[in-house]
Amino acid sequence: MSELNERTLTSSGFYVTKEAPIHTDNPVQTPEAPAPDILRCAYMELVVTDLAKSREFYVDVLGLTVTEEDDNAVYLRSIEEFIHHNLVLRQGPVAAVAAFSYRVRTPEDVDKAEAFYKELGCRTERKAEGFTKGIGDSVRVTDPLGFPFEFFYETEHVERLAWRYDLYTPGALVRLDHFNQVTPDVPRAVRHYQDLGFRVTEDIQDEEGTVYAAWLRAKPTVHDTATTGGDGPRMHHVAFSTHEKHNILAICDKLGALRLSDHIERGPGRHGVSNAFYLYLRDPDGHRVEIYTQDYYTGDPDNPVVTWDVHDNQRRDWWGNPVVPSWYTDASLVLDLDGNPQPVVARTDASELEATIGADGFSYTRKGDTTEGFKLGNQL
């Protein structure tokens, strides 16, 4: 349950508050150990079932740069990155996420992370030589919500290729932007990630205070991760940035030319939440990848927190274009520290899909309008 008072309605139809309007009756304990100082989401380790096919998708189609590779894994980075990688593709038996990896400010913050999770009773594993190539001393944990998080500072520096325009493709991916996690109890997740040092920038709620999703940041963008309400723990997507909107359109055009357009799941479009321009793809294993550009600066501590009404049909697509159901229902498994998929727990709070589409759901373009605004749903 969340507080909906003291919020201000903006001229754009959403609300702003000074404090994140999300509270939980079921919190994870707050450790006494200080949280590590997290800089940013740094890389995701994806388990893929056909490494060659996945390499083709991420390298030949999306144009990520191969830093290093072997028979078992490919280490990829975006064109402005200087750390060893932003994505690891590792061959494995079941498509899943092995790690959501965050970079911390100092080597000592890895110790802090370890202590923080140990106090919470979470399983942790520390490797001085790192869990993947190019990364040094790291700790991996299964966090209280069941997600495999990693924290590291040490990494091999590689050349930032930002100036190498001879290597750019029309849809060049320039940065890793964020992760998105599916979890049944969003307020509980938010409170825990606030304890870890993240700050809420936006959320989606209904009039009863049910929270459907929340966005949390370390670096001053709209998010480093988001918590999406649903059966979890699962990984909703990993997102890379382009410089401009036409770069995202170029990715769609190229997928069409390669007769791979069925990899496009949703978009391109303009998000309400984050105000970014977006596209969602599905990789050969069904892992969802977002391509994203142009959200806003959120680095001030009093950055206004934006709350969207779940019935606002422009919250997820500012143009009111429909969200395909698979976008709500599908997500990737996540692994425990032994490499086994975490069991998925069903969400018991209201579902955004049900609340907005279908027999009992409704959405509006203009608040108070009696016509239902979900365009495609009405028509099919």
Pick out residues in 269-288 that bind its own copies (CB under 8 A).
270, 272, 275, 277
How many residues make contact with its own copies (CB under 8 A)? 83
Max CA distance (Å), the chain: 60
What φ, ψ does residue 194 adopt, rounded to 5°?
-65, -40
Number of neighbours of residue 237 by Cβ within 10 angstroms? 25
Q: Which residues, in sequence order, are bridge partners of residue 102?
A: 41, 151
Sole window of 21-29, 111-119, 190-198, 289-297 interacting with its own copies (rule: CB under 8 A): 289-297
Residue 6 as a binder of its own copies (CB under 8 A): the answer is no
Among residues 152, 227, 186, 233, the alpha carbon closest in space to that of 28 is found at 186
Residue ranges in 174-193 that form contacts with its own copies under rule CB under 8 A? 174-175
Identified binder of its own copies from the candidate list 53, 118, 126, 243, rule CB under 8 A: 243
Identified binder of its own copies from the candidate list 253, 336, 341, 344, rule CB under 8 A: 253
Q: How far is the CB of 342 from its own copies (least distance, A)?
A: 26
Residue 252 as a binder of its own copies (CB under 8 A): the answer is yes
Minimum CB distance to its own copies smaller for 166 or for 338: 166
**Distance (Å, whole) CA 253 – CA 281:** 13
Residue ranges in 192-231 that form contacts with its own copies under rule CB under 8 A? 219-220
End-to-end CA distance of the chain: 34
Residue ranges in 25-64 that form contacts with its own copies under rule CB under 8 A? 39-40
Contact in structure between 113 and 104 (CB atoms under 8 Å): yes
**Distance (Å, whole) CA 360 – CA 194:** 33
**Distance (Å, whole) CA 135 – CA 112:** 18
Residue ranges in 333-372 that form contacts with its own copies under rule CB under 8 A? 365-366, 371
Give the 3-state secondary structure of residue 28: coil
Residue 167 as a binder of its own copies (CB under 8 A): the answer is yes
Minimum CB distance to its own copies smaller for 118 or for 160: 160
Q: How far is the CB of 254 from its own copies (least distance, A)?
A: 4
Instruction: Characterise 379 by phi-psi region: left (phi > 0), alpha (psi -120 to 50), beta (else).
Output: alpha
**Distance (Å, whole) CA 17 – CA 176:** 28
Helix (H) or strand (E) holding 118, with range, is helix 107-119
Minimum CB distance to its own copies smaller for 34 or for 82: 82
Identified binder of its own copies from the candidate list 134, 148, 229, 322, rule CB under 8 A: 322
**Distance (Å, whole) CA 81 – CA 84:** 8
Per-residue buried b or exposed e for 69-91, using 16+ beta carbons within 10 Å of the residue's own CB? beeebbbbbbbbbebbbbbbbbe
Residue ranges in 64-83 that form contacts with its own copies under rule CB under 8 A? 80, 82-83
Q: How far is the CB of 82 from its own copies (least distance, A)?
A: 5
x/- mask, its own copies, residues 100-139, rule CB under 8 A, reads ---x-xx---------------------------------
Minimum CB distance to its own copies smaller for 93 or for 259: 259
Sole window of 20-28, 67-75, 180-188, 297-305 interacting with its own copies (rule: CB under 8 A): 297-305
Sole window of 123-131, 159-167, 192-200, 338-346 interacting with its own copies (rule: CB under 8 A): 159-167
Sole window of 128-136, 206-214, 224-232, 295-303 interacting with its own copies (rule: CB under 8 A): 295-303
